[in-house]
């Protein structure tokens, strides 16, 4: 089990990234060929949990592209996520502020994606009010967006069906293990253990609460946002699905809270997309997300992503804090 350090917010970074010279020669040759020019410099991404290659590449012809590349050697699940992102790219309408996929390559071992390069910065942490206003405005616009037709996006109730069962899974564990896990989380963990039956019941209602036909990013946090002078770019879309238009806001706010951005309950109700969302639906989704994060935080660290579990633990505590105020 991990140690839930509640005094310091963990960094949203895999802790390991490949550089250009770490890629196999044939992969580097393929990238240069597809790009149409020699690669002369790279600027590596410094946030995000992917353990593969993620860099802006400067080309000899003066152009730039952003390239992500991963194989099962870095993480067994990362290539499938990259394949999902390729499939999602064609469903994103032109007005979605996402870097455009230029081309992709999949040889069965390495999956490579090349995007238009955007330059900017992640939101300042702790969150600054002006950055948060920009990101919330972008989410407000996304809430009214529908994917480009035809598309192969699935309902979020399908894509997350196996994931949002954390409390039910934990409830099946021996009680002594649950007590140990609760102790790691301190007082919020004790509350969750005392109310485990209620959390299981709330969690079971999330599919009905989350239904909808809006385009949902599904994984928005500060590290998946790039701010430039005019645009709030939303990046990393492998988890995109169809769902309720308020889902991205609800899913993002626990990370905003843990990174000093303010009270998620107040922020949520201040946004237009929350109008008409009753507390029952919100409770169901928050319970399911908290269970997913709490269960995930107690698992061994995935290959190549050593600090993911600490990040999930911090998000779980923030989500539980918000949920407790609603029950």
Q: Are residues 98 and 142 in the same domain?
A: no
| Nearest CA-CA partner of 263 in 325, 183, 198 | 325
In a domain, 10, yes or no: no
Q: Which domain holds residue 70?
A: 20-116
Instruction: Please report, for the domain that includes residue 71, its CATH number.
Output: 3.30.200.20
**Block residue for tokens 């996304």:** 142
d(CA 39, CA 298): 41
d(CA 181, CA 325): 22
Instruction: Please report, for the domain that includes residue 211, its CATH number.
Output: 3.90.1200.10
Q: What is the pLDDT of residues 67-93, one digit of tens each?
A: 999 999 999 999 999 999 999 999 999
Beta bridge partners of 58: 41, 64
Q: What is the pLDDT of residues 83-122, one digit of tens each?
A: 999 999 999 999 999 999 999 999 999 999 999 999 999 9
Regions of the chain where pLDDT drops below 70: 1-8, 13-15
Q: Are residues 56 and 196 in the same domain?
A: no
Q: What is the pLDDT of residues 277-315, one digit of tens each?
A: 999 999 999 999 999 999 999 999 888 888 899 999 999
In a domain, 12, yes or no: no
Q: What is the pLDDT of residues 306-316, one digit of tens each?
A: 889 999 999 99
Whether the Cβ atoms of residue 254 and residue 289 lie closer than 8 Å to each other:
yes
Prediction pTM value: 0.93
Q: Are residues 235 and 104 in the same domain?
A: no
Whether the Cβ atoms of residue 316 and residue 294 lie closer than 8 Å to each other:
yes
Whether the Cβ atoms of residue 261 and residue 127 lie closer than 8 Å to each other:
yes
Q: Burial-class residue 324 by CB neighbours within 10 Å (0-12, 13-18, 19+).
A: middle
Q: Are residues 165 and 53 in the same domain?
A: no
């Amino acid at each position: 089990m991990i140690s839930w350090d509640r005094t310091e917010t963990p960094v949203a970074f895999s802790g390991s990234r490949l550089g250009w010279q770490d890629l196999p020669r044939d992969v580097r040759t393929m990238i240069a060929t597809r790009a149409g020019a020699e690669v002369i410099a790279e600027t590596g991404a410094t946030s995000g949990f992917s353990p593969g290659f993620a860099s802006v590449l400067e080309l000899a012809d003066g152009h730039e592209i952003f390239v992500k590349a991963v194989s099962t050697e870095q993480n067994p699940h990362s290539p499938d996520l990259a394949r999902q992102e390729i499939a999602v790219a064609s469903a994103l309408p032109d007005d979605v502020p996402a870097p455009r996929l230029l081309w992709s390559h999949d040889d069965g071992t390495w999956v490579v994606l090349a995007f238009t390069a955007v330059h900017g910065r992640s939101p300042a942490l702790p969150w600054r009010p002006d950055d948060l206003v920009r990101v919330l405005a972008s989410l407000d616009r996304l809430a009214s967006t529908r994917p480009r037709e035809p598309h192969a996006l699935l309902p979020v109730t399908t894509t997350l069906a196996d994931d949002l069962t954390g409390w039910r899974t934990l409830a099946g564990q021996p009680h002594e293990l649950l007590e140990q896990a609760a102790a790691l989380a301190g007082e919020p963990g004790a509350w969750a253990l005392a109310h485990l039956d209620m959390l299981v019941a709330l969690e079971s209602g999330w599919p009905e609460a989350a239904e909808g036909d809006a385009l949902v990013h599904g994984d928005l946090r500060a590290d998946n946002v790039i701010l430039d002078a005019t645009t709030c770019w939303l990046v990393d879309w492998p988890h995109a699905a169809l769902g309720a238009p308020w889902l991205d806001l609800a899913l993002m706010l626990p990370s905003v809270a843990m990174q000093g951005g303010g009270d998620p309950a107040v922020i949520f109700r201040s946004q237009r997309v929350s109008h008409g969302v009753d507390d029952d639906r919100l409770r169901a989704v928050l319970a399911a997300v908290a269970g997913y994060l709490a269960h995930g935080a107690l698992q061994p660290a995935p290959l190549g992503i050593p600090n993911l579990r600490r990040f999930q633990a911090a998000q779980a505590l923030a989500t539980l804090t918000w949920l407790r105020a609603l029950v």
